Structure 1
Amino acid sequence: MTPIPDSPHSHLVVQADGAARFLIGVDGGGTGTRVRLADLQGRILGQGDAGPSALGQGSEQAWRHIQQAVEAAAAQAGLTGLAPIDCAIGLGLSGAGVPSQAAEFLARQPGYALLALDNDGFTTVLGAHAGQPGAVVASGTGSVGEVLRRDGSRGMAGGWGWIAGDEGSGAWLGLKAMRHACQAMDGRVPAGSLARAVWAVAGVHTEAMLAWGAVAGQHAYASLAPLVFDCADNDAIAAGFLTEAVFELEKLAAALDPDASLPLALCGSIALRLAPNFSGALRARCVSPQGDSADGGLHLVRGALQRRES
């Protein structure tokens, strides 16, 4: 098995007391949190879901939702009252690559026997390829590309956040849809079906649109992305946005693996919905993911345990 490397993106906290009896893998993003609970042999015992745990939305919220999902997984496994000190936890969280966000999150850790933290893009790679070399282009609320190379090194493309980057993601599509709807409202461009669909959500008057935008965050903009898909058959602007999204995601794939020699998995609701529109050469490299980011969290924490014990 290819060794899972340490990197500037990964963080490890080890408690001095307690030995883990269970493993927890966490996938946390801007829309929701998924947790998988396993025994030390890797057998899945339960899983749970909760609200978003992207670190950009606050570490207090992230831990609250992670703990809710852990409690749900433990209840499903018949392990109510499971204590953090009995568990080693591996987390793939959006925003973990931002040092200040990671530090604040780690400072709040509630006493897990061992904690391994990385960004959700890398745990998606680990899950998709079962810890083996490969690349992933992930696009859901946000977007990122990650690769684990055959020599054990890793790389990342994108993942710059929903304001500066995340091209080809749900939030990116939603922002483009909203900008188009704003221009249509004041007469700069014709109002087609996409603009009208956005108005139906955000308001049909300037004041309502401004009020919606004043409080909207990443998740709210991502919630507009389905409108782009729904309108693409009869609105050239919407169709053009989807074409741009495919172009941006293919750029991520090329940056990760210029030689196109590694298997590639597409993950996330937007990438999967756009998959039929990718080039034939890229589709030929695509493989079905063997697992998800929560499975990748389990791979991450198993690697951390092995390093601690070696």
Structure 2
Amino acid sequence: MKTVILRSQALQGATASDLSAAVQYLIGVDGGGTGTRVRLSDRDGVLLGQGESGPSALGQGAEQAWRHIQQAVQAAAAQAGLGELDLSRCAIGLGLSGTGVEAQVEAFSALQPGYALVALDNDGFTTLLGAHGGEPGAVVAAGTGTIGEGLRRNGERAYISGWGWVCGDEGSGAWLGLKAMRHAQQALDGRAEAGALARAVWAVAGQDRATILAWCAAAGQHGYASLAPLVFDHAPNDPVAAGFVADAVSELERLAHALDPQAELPLALCGSIALRLSSEFSGTIRARCVSPRGDSAEGALHLVRSALQR
């Protein structure tokens, strides 16, 4: 996708210099299916405060996304000792999951609460910007969801995976949780051996059909991702869990190869799952890896600074 840029009604006809003069604070937002992280800075890039709140993935609803973003923004402002921010003096950059669905972006944009400038892109792109400081590179990000992003040396963007937790996001926490739940259901049926992983899932979701079905109906992306730690915890003594971990490594390596077939770009691994699996990657992949310079919230600040200069 291209970065979506929105101005407040009051600044629709303003020049770039007028817009820049109106902005006192910059806000960077990293929003996914598990939580929202915000970084607040002044115009010179000096960090003033940070805040966190609940999930702001667009697939979970535009109203919830803005509610949690605003909660995290105000938490950052409070940490900075600023009180309630005047949004008309703020420019906000947002890296949110779910921006690939146009209707979700439109619903979110329609609820813009009055920021002077909004720059919206997917969380994979802001992770990329943060990891490589806006320079060419590639990122495999696997946490609650999975996405691969690349910025080629000619300025082109590459986008891999990120199809959503229901039918994609291979190698993610939600994907691992779904696999763990399927195995636990099969074990309850007698179709699979009830090992340590199956029993651990039962302890969380229930040990009979009705209770497990109720858990699954209410779980959502975050609920399934919460089962992923059980897979890692039991991988040393449960071959099924160990197999799921190996599957995740394989899927993320496939993503990295598809993202940059010629292996020309530095690669950063980001997100809790990718970082946990980093030592399991092949030597070829590890040789391309670099330490991220910054995170997705820092990338969102980079995004909004660039938008202000347009």
TM range (shorter): over 0.9
Q: Given the alignment, which residue of 31, 38, 48 partners 1:28?
A: 31
Q: Given the alignment, which residue of 98, 108, 111 partners 1:108?
A: 111
Instruction: Report the Cα distance in structure 1 between the residues aligned to 2:9 and 2:192, rounded to whole angstroms.
Output: 62
2:127 counterpart of 1:124: yes
Q: Please state how far the C-alpha of 1:16 moved relative to its aligned partner.
A: 4.4
Contact persistence 1:231–1:238 (CA under 8 A): yes
Segments of structure 1 that go 5 or more residues without pairing to the other structure are 1-7
CA RMSD of aligned residues (A): 0.9
Tell me the equivalent position of 1:50. 53
Note the alpha carbon deviations across 1:133-165, whole angstroms, 9 max, x for none.
110000000000001111111110000000110
Contact persistence 1:9–1:97 (CA under 8 A): no
2:153 counterpart of 1:150: yes
Moved more, 38-47 or 169-178: 38-47
Instruction: Report the Cα distance in structure 2 between the residues aligned to 1:160 and 1:185, rounded to whole angstroms.
Output: 30
Contact persistence 1:9–1:96 (CA under 8 A): no
Note the alpha carbon deviations across 1:43-74, whole angstroms, 9 max, x for none.
11111111110011111111011001100111
Tell me the equivalent position of 1:4. none
Instruction: Report the Cα distance in structure 1 between the residues aligned to 2:50 and 2:141, rounded to whole angstroms.
Output: 22
2:4 counterpart of 1:11: yes
Tell me the equivalent position of 1:294. 297
Note the alpha carbon deviations across 1:14-66, whole angstroms, 9 max, x for none.
12436111110000000100000111111111111111100111111110110
1:211-290 to 2 correspondences below 5 Å: 211-290=214-293
Instruction: Report the Cα distance in structure 1 between the residues aligned to 2:167 and 2:5, rounded to whole angstroms.
Output: 28
Segments ≥4 residues shifted beyond 4 Å: none
TM-score (norm 2): 0.95
Q: Given the alignment, which residue of 73, 76, 80 partners 1:73?
A: 76
Instruction: Report the Cα distance in structure 2 between the residues aligned to 1:185 and 1:76, rounded to whole angstroms.
Output: 48
Instruction: Report the Cα distance in structure 2 between the residues aligned to 1:228 and 1:14, rounded to whole angstroms.
Output: 45
Instruction: Report the Cα distance in structure 1 between the residues aligned to 2:28 and 2:249, rounded to whole angstroms.
Output: 30
Tell me the equivalent position of 1:90. 93
Q: Please state how far the C-alpha of 1:9 moved relative to its aligned partner.
A: 3.7
Q: What amino acid is aligned across from residue 30 of structure 2 in structure 1?
A: D
Contact persistence 1:9–1:119 (CA under 8 A): no
Note the alpha carbon deviations across 1:222-266, whole angstroms, 9 max, x for none.
000000001101111110111110011011111111111111110
Instruction: Report the Cα distance in structure 2 between the residues aligned to 1:280 and 1:273, rounded to whole angstroms.
Output: 16
Tell me the equivalent position of 1:175. 178
Segments of structure 2 that go 5 or more residues without pairing to the other structure are 12-21
2:155 counterpart of 1:162: no
Instruction: Report the Cα distance in structure 2 between the residues aligned to 1:211 and 1:81, rounded to whole angstroms.
Output: 40
For the residue of structure 2 that corresponds to 1:230, the secondary structure is: helix
For the residue of structure 2 that corresponds to 1:125, the secondary structure is: helix
Moved more, 169-178 or 43-52: 43-52
Instruction: Report the Cα distance in structure 2 between the residues aligned to 1:41 and 1:77, rounded to whole angstroms.
Output: 15
Instruction: Report the Cα distance in structure 1 between the residues aligned to 2:88 and 2:99, rounded to whole angstroms.
Output: 22
Tell me the equivalent position of 1:191. 194
